Amino acid sequence: MADKLQEIEEIIGKYRKAGEILSTVRSEAKEKIKVGASLLEVANHVEQRTIELGGFPAFPCNISRNDEAAHATPLAGDETVFGEDIVKLDLGVHVDGYIADSAITVDLTNENGDLVKASEAALYAAIDTVRSGVNTSKLGAVIEDTIHEHGFKPIVNLTGHGVGPYLAHVPPSIPNRHIDHGAVLEAGDIIAIEPFATDGAGIISDGALTEIFSLVGKKPIRLPAARKVLKEIEQYRTLPFARRWLTSDKLDYSLMQLEKAGIITSYPVLKEIEGGMVSQAEHTIIVTDDGCEITTK
């Protein structure tokens, strides 16, 4: 029993360390998000600084702008700079596979402060609702109601999620809207709550660009170039990776073949269907008997 308790404490300690690293990196990166600054430089800082501080990226640094809600990350050699954008910075850190996941929105338009506040207020209203025994449907209702009170809509087909060892998304889903049936939270659950608010329709769909992938299964692949890419991506286990992290030849064709074979899956950039502006706020928490602990504060 003592050994089991010690193991649990060690695991919780790794979640906390990942959160501490993320908090530092998030703060540094936020200061770098300015009109004229390079998206790639911000992403590189997030990922390299994470490693310097003793963690590893749990997924590629997401920098989604304006009507993009998620899954946007710079390309290799990307020369794109920030304009007067509303910027979602979503970053993940893991320590031995134990993940911290958090997001903030930086308003470079100076016109969308209320939209930013809507997702932030919804996040903290949901956090205030969390405790062991609470149903996730209640969190969804609180999130939707709070965003509506600020004059915006939640993105209804995006959710928060649990996190597990080397898995960035596991049950339970944390809805951003009213639902009839959810899951009951228990003490010790690790979840990421992430409301998205928009002045658009409140629905996202896949965009044309895809730069993020993850390994979902292993099976034989005939193409030598694809086998080489597969060997390169195995180091990321089940966690997402960016195309720009890879150095193999014939990369685009190899990734296409690996996806066609069901060995990897892709994550297209997600965009608001009416072109509405989107804000996001996210923290990872540990559910307790009487509330929760925010690991990414």
Mean of pLDDT values over 80-87: 98
Q: Is the pLDDT of residue 129 over 80?
A: yes
Q: How far is 279 from 111, CA to CA, in rounded Å?
A: 12
For the stretch 225-268, pLDDT in tens is 999 999 999 999 999 999 999 998 899 999 999 999 999 999 99
Mean of pLDDT values over 142-154: 98
Q: Is the pLDDT of residue 177 over 70?
A: yes
* Other C-beta atoms lying within 10 Å of the C-beta of residue 218: 9
Q: According to the model, what pLDDT value does residue 249 have? A: 87
Q: According to the model, what pLDDT value does residue 4 have? A: 64
Q: How far is 288 from 267, CA to CA, in rounded Å?
A: 32
Q: According to the model, what pLDDT value does residue 162 have? A: 98
Q: Which of 47, 68, 194, 272 is catalytic?
A: 194
Are the beta carbons of 96 and 36 closer than 8 angstroms?
A: no
Binding-site members for a divalent metal cation are 90, 101, 161, 194, 282
* Other C-beta atoms lying within 10 Å of the C-beta of residue 33: 18
**Average per-residue pLDDT for the chain:** 96
Q: Which of 85, 101, 107, 189 is catalytic?
A: 101
Mean of pLDDT values over 163-185: 97
Q: According to the model, what pLDDT value does residue 218 have? A: 87
Mean of pLDDT values over 286-296: 97
149 is catalytic: no
Q: Is the pLDDT of residue 3 over 80?
A: no
Q: According to the model, what pLDDT value does residue 8 have? A: 81
Kindly state the tokens that stand for 60: 């590629």
Are the beta carbons of 82 and 39 closer than 8 angstroms?
A: yes
111 is catalytic: no
Q: Which of 67, 68, 90, 144 is catalytic?
A: 90
Kindly state the tokens that stand for 284: 């990872």
| 1 confidence band (pLDDT: 50, 70, 90) | low
Mean of pLDDT values over 276-282: 98
Q: Which of 161, 189, 199, 272 is catalytic?
A: 161
178 is catalytic: no
For the stretch 12-67, pLDDT in tens is 999 999 999 999 999 999 999 999 999 999 999 999 999 999 999 999 999 999 99
Mean of pLDDT values over 188-205: 98
Q: According to the model, what pLDDT value does residue 7 have? A: 79
| 126 confidence band (pLDDT: 50, 70, 90) | very high
Q: How far is 30 from 33, CA to CA, in rounded Å?
A: 5
Q: According to the model, what pLDDT value does residue 37 have? A: 98
101 is catalytic: yes
180 is catalytic: no
Q: Which of 47, 120, 189, 282 is catalytic?
A: 282
Question: How large a percentage of the chain has pLDDT more than 90?
Answer: 95
Q: Which of 45, 148, 150, 169 is catalytic?
A: 169
Read off the pTM.
0.95
Mean of pLDDT values over 147-159: 98
Q: According to the model, what pLDDT value does residue 63 have? A: 98
150 is catalytic: no
Binding-site members for substrate are 71, 169
Write the secondary structure of the chain as one string of H (helix), E (strand) and C (coil): CHHHHHHHHHHHHHHHHHHHHHHHHHHHHHHHCCCCCEHHHHHHHHHHHHHHCCCEEEEEEEEEECCEEECCCCCCCCCCECCCCEEEEEEEEEECCEEEEEEEEEECCCCCHHHHHHHHHHHHHHHHHCCCCCEHHHHHHHHHHHHHHCCCEECCCCEEEEEECCEEEEEEEEECCCCCCCCECCCCCEEEECCEEECCCCCEEEEEEEEEEEECCCCCCCCHHHHHHHHHHHHHCCCCEEHHHCCCCCHHHHHHHHHHCCCEEEEEEEEECCCCCEEECEEEEEEECCEEEECCC
Q: Is the pLDDT of residue 5 over 80?
A: no
Structural domains for the chain: 2-206+271-294 (3.90.230.10), 211-269 (1.10.10.10)
Q: Is the pLDDT of residue 2 over 70?
A: no
Are the beta carbons of 258 and 267 closer than 8 angstroms?
A: no
